[in-house]
Structure 1
Amino acid sequence: MAAAAHGGLSPAPRLLPLGDAAWAVEFGAAIDPATHARVLALEAAVRTAQASGAPPWDAVQDVVPTFRSLSVHYDPLAADGAALGQALLQLAQQTDAAPPRGRRWTLPARFDAALAPDLAALAARQGLTPAAVVERLLGAELRVYQIGFMPGFPYMAGVPAVLQVPRLATPRKAVPAGSIALAGAMAAVYPWESPGGWHLVGRTPAPLWDLRRDPPALLASGDVVRWRAIDAAEYERLRQAVQRGALDVAAWCDAPAEAAA
C-alpha cells in the first residue's frame, strides 16, 4: 500500500505485510541519513504509542529499524492486523523526521597484524600503507544503520571511499569475536565468533553483546561510532575486564549523537 506524499518528501511511506503478525513501513530504496532519520522518527513514535497501552498499539511486541524501513511485530490474537496497519501508516504520514538522537561512542581498537589479518592486503590493494588505512579508520565517523545478521552485529555506514572494497572471494569459517570488518560501504564488528566474508582490519575488546546488560546489545540504530587506537597492554587489560564482567562501557559513551546527523 502506498500513501500520499509526506511533507514534500519522496517517496511516500509504503505499508507492506510481513506474514500475519508483522508490518513493514518502507521509506524508499535509498540508504542515506535522510531516509534513516524517517525510520528512526517512526520508531520513536511507535514506541511512544506502544507505551500508552491504548489499542491497537497494546498488541505491538517488537519494533525493528532497518536501513530504510521499520518492522512492527504484533500479537495477531490481540489486535486487528488491518487496523494496526492503517494506524501505522497514518502515524508514518504524520511523523516528521528529526536528526537521529543516538549515542556517540568512542570505542577502543587494536590494529596490529595478529588482530587484523586483512589490513596489509587491503592497504596494498588500495595503494596505501597499513598505517594510512588505520589513520583513515580513526578519522571516520560511523553511523549505525541497523543491527542484524546476528544479535548485536552493527551495520555501520561512513567508511571512507578509499577503503570500500568488495567482500572476500572466500568467506572464513571462523571470524574472531570483536573483529572490526569492512565490506563495500559498510563497517561492522562481529559480536562473537562466526563465519564471515568481510575484511578484518582490527579488533576491539568492547563487548558488543552481553546478556548481563539491558539491553544486551551495546550499539543501537542511530548511534555514532569512532575508534580510538590502544596498545597491546590496554587491549589485554580491557579484554580481561570484559571476561570478569568488571568493565563499565558507559565510559565510552560521550554524548547524544544529534550533532553528527
Structure 2
Amino acid sequence: MRPLPVGERGLLIELDTAQEVEALHAELLRRAADGTLPPVREIVPAARTVLLDGLADPRGLTAELATWHIPELTTADRPTVEIPVRYDGPDLADVAALWGITPEEVIRLHSGTAFHVAFCGFAPGFGYLTGLPEALHVPRRDTPRTKVPVGSVALAGPYTGVYPRSSPGGWQLIGTTDTVLWDPQREPAALLAPGTRVRFLPQDLRDSGPGSPAGTPATSRSKERPR
C-alpha cells in the first residue's frame, strides 16, 4: 500500500491490483462498522486506489495502515445479484468475431462467468464488473454512440457494465436488461456496490414484457418489477 495525502483531510491509497483494492475496501468497511477505523466521511474504491476523505488525522492512519493484515476476500464475503439479460445487442456479432466464436458461444461464456463489481463510477448505479479472462477483453468502439439505451449490457477492456440510464458511450453492446440499476426511492439506491457478485441470466427474447424480472439478490430470490 502506498498512502498519499490528499489535501488536509484525505488519504489516497494506491495498490497494485484490483483484488488488493477490493480486499482493502472490504477491510475498511469492516473496521468502520465495528468502530476500529477512525471517523471518515467517505471511502471510495477505484481501479487501483481507495480514497478516504474527511479524516481528522490522515498521518495517524497512514502509520496504522502499515501494521494491518488485509485478508483475501472469499466468495462467501460477497453478496450476489442475478440480472436477467436478453442477448440482443447490436455489437454481439462483432464481439463474437473478436473472440473467434459464434454469438451463441458468446452468450454461453458471458452468462457462465461469475462477475463482481470492482468499483462504481461514470454514472449513478454504474458498476465496473470484472471476471472475463484477459483473452476475452475487447476494445471500445472506434466511434462512440451518442445515445446508448438504458439497460444496455456492454463490454470494454476488462469490464462488463450495465448502463443505468441513457447516455453517450463507446462500449460494445451485447444485450439489454429491464433491471433497475439506480432508483433514488430504493434503499440502497444503487443495486450494485463494490464487492457484489453478479450473474447474468440469459432471457428468452420473447419473454420481455412488463412482467419480466429485474435484479434478483440470489440469497433471497426476491423479485423486483422493472420500471
Fold-level match, TM-score > 0.5?
yes
Where on the TM-score scale, by shorter chain, does this alignment land: which range? 0.7 to 0.9
| Alpha-carbon distance in structure 2 between the residues aligned to 1:197 and 1:20 | 37
Tell me how far 1:255 sits from its aligned partner: 3.2
Tell me how far 1:44 sits from its aligned partner: 2.4
Tell me how far 1:226 sits from its aligned partner: 0.9
Greater Rg over alpha carbons, structure: 1
Runs of 5+ consecutive residues of structure 2 not aligned to the other structure: 221-227
| Alpha-carbon distance in structure 1 between the residues aligned to 2:73 and 2:118 | 13
Give the SS at the match of 2:67: helix
Give the CA RMSD over aligned residues: 2.4
Tell me how far 1:253 sits from its aligned partner: 1.1
* Alignment check: 8 A CA contact 2:21 2:50 kept: no
2:224 alignment partner in structure 1: none
Q: How many residues align?
A: 218
1:67 alignment partner in structure 2: 47
Matched, 1:107 2:63: no
2:32 alignment partner in structure 1: 46
2:225 alignment partner in structure 1: none
Give the SS at the match of 1:255: coil
Please tell me the residue identity of whatever aligns with 1:138.
S
Give the SS at the match of 1:205: coil
Matched, 1:30 2:41: no
2:207 alignment partner in structure 1: 234
* Alignment check: 8 A CA contact 2:155 2:174 kept: yes
2:93 alignment partner in structure 1: 120
Please tell me the residue identity of whatever aligns with 1:255.
T
Matched, 1:253 2:220: no
Please tell me the residue identity of whatever aligns with 1:37.
A
Tell me how far 1:214 sits from its aligned partner: 1.3
| Alpha-carbon distance in structure 2 between the residues aligned to 1:191 and 1:236 | 19
Runs of 5+ consecutive residues of structure 1 not aligned to the other structure: 1-12, 242-246, 257-261
* Alignment check: 8 A CA contact 2:21 2:45 kept: no
- Give 1:87's match in structure 2, choosing from 43, 46, 61: 61
Give the SS at the match of 2:22: helix
* Alignment check: 8 A CA contact 1:157 1:186 kept: yes
1:97 alignment partner in structure 2: 71
Bigger proportion of residues as helix: 1
| Alpha-carbon distance in structure 2 between the residues aligned to 1:29 and 1:162 | 21
Please tell me the residue identity of whatever aligns with 1:72.
L
| Alpha-carbon distance in structure 1 between the residues aligned to 2:2 and 2:135 | 35
* Alignment check: 8 A CA contact 1:14 1:89 kept: no
Q: How does 1:125-140 map to 2 (within 5 A)?
A: 125-140=98-113
| Alpha-carbon distance in structure 2 between the residues aligned to 1:89 and 1:236 | 56
Matched, 1:148 2:121: yes
| Alpha-carbon distance in structure 2 between the residues aligned to 1:203 and 1:171 | 18
Deviations 1:37-85 (A, max 9, x none): 13321232234438x8xxx51xx222212233321121xxxx64xx244
| Alpha-carbon distance in structure 2 between the residues aligned to 1:48 and 1:95 | 16
Please tell me the residue identity of whatever aligns with 2:85.
A
Please tell me the residue identity of whatever aligns with 2:108.
E
| Alpha-carbon distance in structure 2 between the residues aligned to 1:66 and 1:40 | 13
